[in-house]
């Protein structure tokens, strides 16, 4: 079998919010890549055997933070290098050039004139000037700028705000771009990255969903042998893809435990069971634990306390079920690559630490099981591609995220069964209508929240004093910042009418117009 990681690019992360985007773009091209923190050791960098190295952007100024001597171990590898934004400045400065600190930011669209013939940009353009010069429409976001080149480099692109917008040392195959090729606003960005990865670094395109599955299946078989594997199936994208992948790899050696907490979306438990009924070998044990959850949550209004209770009860139920199954050696988990990068990045202190939520944290330590994490190297979009390739329905693969504690944190304050049931119906109407109006995929996450207040209303001839729900829909790609979605008024009107007419006990519907920050996406 061909090694699908043989052609590989290393990305050194200087803390840009776009670093993961660079990696995703390179993987889309079909080349394997990994992200290391910028100060990864020389040994670690050398041992990776990259065919090319990308230096990411970063939030720092080269004036205040010279990033140690990051460039030395990079140059020692003798492979092509592409510095992006701050990455280009680090390269220029540390190789003997000069970077001018500027309080003024250049932010947004810019036009770059291609100044010299360079392997990186040759033949790539959005427009042409009358004299035949190629023009690129690019996206910039920087304050500092390179003002003097290191020896051996020439300017290959310039813009009004950045006379030195692209640089190259063709002989040593070292390149720098002041703009961001990884964002879609740079129209030829993908082409430029392709040029670097495929032609300049000589990497092929064997990193495809089908190849990744093929290889994972082999690896899982090799790792677990004939042992039994346990999986906590939640119905979310990651655990569902793990289930489908393990089914392909080890069939009936897999047992899934699906804890129906009673805090899931309407009919979700049945849907999960139906989906996996079609997968060969998979044994899904459904534990209907709704009553246990409602009992445990009775009288508890504090959000953090609710989270702890829900999490601990999950572990207790899961363990009790697991004990009934003999000979289990492995626990499968849906850890994905961003989780791994987050923990590594946290160590450098460069990227802001992101809150991470691990639903099944604590399980492996307590249960003395070995871990199998087949998605550990994959980005979410890759997990989705693999899910589709393994035959999972689009509805699961492209489903909005759902918090581990489920509706437990969407019924504000005390969680009562009747509140949950009302909320499930409200949420179902909202989501159903979003799908029907082709708006579901336009927003990153949408849901309803049950508010523990009552409000007065009139219905027919009578006065009513009933509950209030809030609808929330957000647009975001990283869930760290988010805008509230500008859903059409007519659509909201239609949804609101349906909810009030069809869900008894609800007399008022509100729409949440808070961004994150300062608000979080969930209400608790």
Catalytic residue set: 85, 180, 182
Q: Kindly report the CA angle at 138 between 136 and 141, in degrees rounded to 5?
A: 150
Q: Which residues contact 322 (CB under 8 A, 6 or more apart)?
A: 230, 257, 328, 367
Report if residue 44 touches ligand XMP, rule: CB under 6 A. no
Which of 188, 190, 1, 157 lies closest to 88 in space, CA to CA? 157
Q: Say which DSSP state 16 is in.
A: -
Least distance from C-beta 419 to ligand XMP, angstroms? Answer: 18
Is residue 140 within a helix (H) or strand (E), and if so which, with residue range?
Answer: strand 134-142
Nearer to ligand XMP, 228 or 483 (CB): 483
Two tokens, residue 129: 């000037």
Nearer to ligand XMP, 387 or 405 (CB): 405
Two tokens, residue 394: 């689009």
Report if residue 520 touches ligand XMP, rule: CB under 6 A. yes
Two tokens, residue 351: 């990227």
Please identify, among the stretches 196-204, 258-266, 355-363, 430-438, the one whose residues bind ligand XMP according to the rule CB under 6 A. Answer: 355-363
Least distance from C-beta 444 to ligand XMP, angstroms? Answer: 8
CB 482 within 8 A of CB 473: no
Least distance from C-beta 314 to ligand XMP, angstroms? Answer: 11
Q: Torsions phi, psi of 521, nearest 5? A: -70, -50
Nearer to ligand XMP, 112 or 263 (CB): 263
Q: Which residue has the tokens 């040994």?
A: 43
Nearer to ligand XMP, 175 or 314 (CB): 314
What is the rounded CA–CA span in Å between residue 213 and residue 382?
11
**Cis peptide bond prior to 518, omega within 30° of 0:** yes
Report if residue 483 touches ligand XMP, rule: CB under 6 A. no
State the chain's maximal CA–CA distance in angstroms: 85
Report if residue 521 touches ligand XMP, rule: CB under 6 A. yes
Site for ligand XMP, residues 307 to 346, rule: CB under 6 A:
307
Least distance from C-beta 482 to ligand XMP, angstroms? Answer: 7
Q: Which residues contact 265 (CB under 8 A, 6 or more apart)?
A: 402, 407, 424, 427, 428, 431
Nearer to ligand XMP, 345 or 404 (CB): 404
Site for ligand XMP, residues 445 to 474, rule: CB under 6 A:
445
Least distance from C-beta 414 to ligand XMP, angstroms? Answer: 18
Least distance from C-beta 343 to ligand XMP, angstroms? Answer: 16
Strands (E), 178-246: 228-232
Least distance from C-beta 355 to ligand XMP, angstroms? Answer: 6
Please identify, among the stretches 71-79, 287-295, 493-501, 514-522, the one whose residues bind ligand XMP according to the rule CB under 6 A. Answer: 514-522
Nearer to ligand XMP, 106 or 428 (CB): 428
Nearer to ligand XMP, 400 or 416 (CB): 400
Q: Torsions phi, psi of 232, nearest 5? A: -85, 105
Report if residue 353 touches ligand XMP, rule: CB under 6 A. no
Nearer to ligand XMP, 82 or 444 (CB): 444
Distances (CA, A) of 439 to 216, 431, 474: 34, 9, 11
Going by their DSSP bridges, the two strands 174-177 and 166-169 should be labelled as antiparallel
**Cis peptide bond prior to 256, omega within 30° of 0:** no
Sole binder of ligand XMP in the list 49, 357, 370, 497 (CB under 6 A):
357
Beta bridge partners of 330: 229, 370
- Total residues contacting ligand XMP by CB under 6 A comes to 14
Please identify, among the stretches 201-209, 318-326, 334-342, 516-524, the one whose residues bind ligand XMP according to the rule CB under 6 A. Answer: 516-524
- Binding marks (x or -) toward ligand XMP, 379..418, rule CB under 6 A? ----------------------x-xxx-------------
What is the rounded CA–CA span in Å between residue 61 and residue 101?
7
Residue ranges in contact with ligand XMP by CB under 6 A: 307, 355, 357, 359, 401, 403-405, 445, 479, 516, 520-522
């Amino acid at each position: 079998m061909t090694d699908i990681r043989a052609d590989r690019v290393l990305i050194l992360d200087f803390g840009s919010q776009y670093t993961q985007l660079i990696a995703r773009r390179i993987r889309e091209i079909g080349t394997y890549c990994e992200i290391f923190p910028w100060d990864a050791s020389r040994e670690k960098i050398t041992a990776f055997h990259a065919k090319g190295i990308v230096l990411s952007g970063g939030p720092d100024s080269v004036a205040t933070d010279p990033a140690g001597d990051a460039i030395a171990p990079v140059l020692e590898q003798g492979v092509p290098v592409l510095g992006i934004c701050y990455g280009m400045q680090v390269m220029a400065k540390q190789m003997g050039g000069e970077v001018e600190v500027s309080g003024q930011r250049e932010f947004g669209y810019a036009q770059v004139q291609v100044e010299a013939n360079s392997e990186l940009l040759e033949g790539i353009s959005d427009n042409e000037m009358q004299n035949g010069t190629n023009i690129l429409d690019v996206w910039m976001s920087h304050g500092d700028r390179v003002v003097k080149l290191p020896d051996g480099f020439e300017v290959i692109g310039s813009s009004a705000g950045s006379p030195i917008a692209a640089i190259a040392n063709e002989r040593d195959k070292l390149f720098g771009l002041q703009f961001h090729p990884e964002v879609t606003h740079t129209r030829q960005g993908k082409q430029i990255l392709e040029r670097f990865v495929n032609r300049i670094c000589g990497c092929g395109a064997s990193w495809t969903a089908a190849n990744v599955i093929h290889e994972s299946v082999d690896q899982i078989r090799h790792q677990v042998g004939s042992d039994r594997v346990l999986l906590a199936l939640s119905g979310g994208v990651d655990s569902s893809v793990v289930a489908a992948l393990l089914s392909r790899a080890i069939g009936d050696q897999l047992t899934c435990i699906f804890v129906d907490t009673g805090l899931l979306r309407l009919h979700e438990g049945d849907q999960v069971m139906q989906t996996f009924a079609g997968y060969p070998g998979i044994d899904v044990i459904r534990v209907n634990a709704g009553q246990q959850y409602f009992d445990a949550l009775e009288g508890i209004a504090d959000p953090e306390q609710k989270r702890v209770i829900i999490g601990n009860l999950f572990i207790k139920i899961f363990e009790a079920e697991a004990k009934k199954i003999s000979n289990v050696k492995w626990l499968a988990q849906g850890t994905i690559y961003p989780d791994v990068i987050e923990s590594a990045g946290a160590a450098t202190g460069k990227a802001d630490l992101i809150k991470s939520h691990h639903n099944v944290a604590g399980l492996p330590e307590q249960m003395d099981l070995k871990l199998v994490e087949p998605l550990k190297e994959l980005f979410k979009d890759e997990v989705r591609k693999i899910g589709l390739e393994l035959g999972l329905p689009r509805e699961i693969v492209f489903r909005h995220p759902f918090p581990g504690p489920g509706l437990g944190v969407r019924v504000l304050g005390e969680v009562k069964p009747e509140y949950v049931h009302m909320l499930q119906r409200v949420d179902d109407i909202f989501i159903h209508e979003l799908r029907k109006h082709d708006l579901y995929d336009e927003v990153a996450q949408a849901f309803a929240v049950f508010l523990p207040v009552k409000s007065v209303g009139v219905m027919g001839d009578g006065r009513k004093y009933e509950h209030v729900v809030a609808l929330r829909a957000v647009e975001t790609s990283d869930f760290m910042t988010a805008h509230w979605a500008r859903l059409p008024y007519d659509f909201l009107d239609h949804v609101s009418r349906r909810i009030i007419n069809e869900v008894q006990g609800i007399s008022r519907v509100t729409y949440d117009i808070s961004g994150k920050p300062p608000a979080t996406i969930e209400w608790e």
